[in-house]
Homo-oligomer: A and B are copies of this chain.
Amino acid sequence: MPSRTRPGPAADDTRERIIDAAQAIFARDGFVGAKMQEIADRVGIQRPSLFYHFRNKEALFVAAHEQVFAKIEPVFRESLAPNGDPFVQLDRVSRAVLAVVAEEPDFARMVARTSVDRHPAAVKIVRTYLQPLIDLSVDFVCEGQRRGVFADIDPFFFTLNSWGAALMYFIARDLLAPVAKPTHPRDLARFTTTLLQMGHRALAPNDRRAVVSQRAS
List residues of chain A with CB under 8 Å of any chain B CB: 28-30, 32-33, 91, 109, 112-113, 115-119, 123, 126, 130-131, 134, 151, 153-154, 156-158, 160-169, 171-173, 175-177, 180-181, 183, 187-188, 190-199, 201-203, 211, 214-215
Assess whether B168 is in contact with A117, with CB atoms less than 8 Å apart: no
| B residues near A153, Cβ cutoff 8 Å | 187, 191
Assess whether A196 is in contact with B194, with CB atoms less than 8 Å apart: no
Q: Which of B33, B165, B173, B202 contacts A165 (CB 8 A)?
A: B165
Q: Which of B33, B91, B163, B176 contacts A126 (CB 8 A)?
A: B176
| B residues near A29, Cβ cutoff 8 Å | 32, 117-119
Q: Please give me the residue from chain B that is nearest to A119 by CB atom.
A: B33
Assess whether A117 is in contact with B33, with CB atoms less than 8 Å apart: yes
| B residues near A175, Cβ cutoff 8 Å | 115, 118, 123, 126
A150–B82 CA distance with the chains assembled, in angstroms: 34
| B residues near A161, Cβ cutoff 8 Å | 165-166, 168-169, 191-192, 195
**A177 touching B156 in the complex, CB below 8 Å, given contacts A118-B28, A194-B199, A199-B199:** yes
| B residues near A164, Cβ cutoff 8 Å | 164-169, 171
A122–B154 CA distance with the chains assembled, in angstroms: 33
| B residues near A214, Cβ cutoff 8 Å | 91, 193-194, 197
Q: Which of B167, B181, B195 contacts A195 (CB 8 A)?
A: B195
With A30-B32, A161-B195 known, 6 other A-B pairs at CB within 8 A are A151-B191, A156-B176, A160-B169, A161-B191, A195-B196, A196-B199
A94–B19 CA distance with the chains assembled, in angstroms: 40
Assess whether B163 is in contact with A183, with CB atoms less than 8 Å apart: no
Assess whether B194 is in contact with A203, with CB atoms less than 8 Å apart: yes
**A160 touching B172 in the complex, CB below 8 Å, given contacts A116-B112, A191-B153, A199-B199:** yes
